[in-house]
Amino acid sequence: MNDQRRWGPDTYAYSLLIVTAMCWAGNHVVGRWMAADTPPVPPGGLSVMRWLLAMCVLLPFAWRHLLADWPRISERWGIVLFLGLLGGAGFSFTQYYALRFTSVVNVGVMNSIGPAFIILAGVAIFGDRVRPQQIVGIAVSLVGVLVILMRGDFGVLGTLSFNFGDVIAIINMGIFAVYSACLRLRPQMHGLTFMILMSAIASVGSVPVMVVELLAGEVIRPSGPTIVAVIYTGLFTSVAAYLAWNAGVARLGAQRAGAFLHLVPLFGALLAVIILGEPPQWFHAVGLILIVAGVTVAARQSAWWFGR
């Protein structure tokens, strides 16, 4: 995209993608927390509320840009609608449904295939070329993710049980991979313009799911945990994370940015140490080193060891 140059040097994009990983790691914890609440918070209803809050927060800052960008939006409204429904509504409520049926650890495992899915989506849809450096970097960081998730014992892999929630989590990552690969198609517009449109589309797009939940007797009930969940997912999971992710992808491209998804399980483990009081272990350090090394290799534009 022509506007990729606006986002500054790669180091700025790296910082944005790290912020994204931190926000989404917290989203996994919140999503599982809401699924375990009594009664559980409906995923469709939570998706509607989080994107509605995001839209209300963004509107005072985005409306001028929205008016200025409207001629370009009206020419290619179809791709904006597609991205909003896919990356906003679809990705949101499927992730919360996955966390209703499976554990945060399993979702972390499924999340780790995200970088590979993004590469496959780019190859299948746009015929992207994949550099060996990216494959090596993603493989190294994936090992680091597994070290943390398996707590240093790879024998645990054989004891993991997978269920319907894990299937939803895989579909969820496929949805996000297509969204990330197709971000290059969005019309030229300000980042806030795209986010306000995406928030509106995602909120409305989640309504049919919420209606089905209402017919099944699932209603969002006002409570302290529910309010905290809506605020966190609206401000951090939606606004902060998506603004940072979209900007990072605009600068680095979906393939290079995708490697940073391996930071999500890492930050999830760190949250367990900080919030839940779990003592840090040797595998946290090993996993951290491998993930950072792999992400660094995969995200670099070129590398002398591949003769580039």
CB 288 within 8 A of CB 267: no
pLDDT of residue 142: 81
Tens digit of each residue's pLDDT (9 = 90 or more) over 173-229:
899 999 999 999 999 999 999 999 999 999 999 999 999 999 999 888 888 888 888
C-alpha closest to that of 290 among 115, 112, 135, 147: 147
At 70-85, the pLDDT tens digits run 998 988 899 999 999 9
DSSP string, 205-237: HTHHHHHHHHHTT--PPP-HHHHHHHHHIIIII
Q: What is the pLDDT of residue 271?
A: 76
Mean pLDDT in residue range 232-258:
93
Q: State residue 277's pLDDT score.
A: 64
Amino acid at 115: P
pLDDT bin (cut points 50, 70, 90) of residue 7 is very low
Banded pLDDT at 93 (limits 50, 70, 90): very high
Mean pLDDT of 20-46: 84
d(CA 291, CA 299): 12
Q: What percent of the chain has pLDDT over 70?
A: 88
pLDDT band with cut points at 50, 70 and 90 for residue 268: confident
Question: pLDDT at position 272, please?
Answer: 67
Nearest Cα residue to 186 out of 178, 196, 194: 194
pLDDT at residue 231, as a whole number: 95
Q: What is the radius of gyration, based on Cα positions, of the chain?
A: 19
pLDDT over 60 (residue 293)? yes
Residue 1's pLDDT is what?
41
Most confident range (mean pLDDT) of 87-101, 154-168, 188-202, 272-286 is: 188-202
The pair of structure tokens assigned to 245 is 């992710």
What mean pLDDT is predicted for residues 245-252?
A: 93
The pLDDT assigned to 157 comes to 67
Note whether 209 and 93 are within 8 A (CB). yes
Q: What's the whole-number average pLDDT of the chain?
A: 84
Flag whether pLDDT at 2 surpasses 60.
Answer: no
Q: Is the peptide bond before 279 cis (omega within 30 degrees of 0)?
A: no
Residue 109 pLDDT more than 80? no
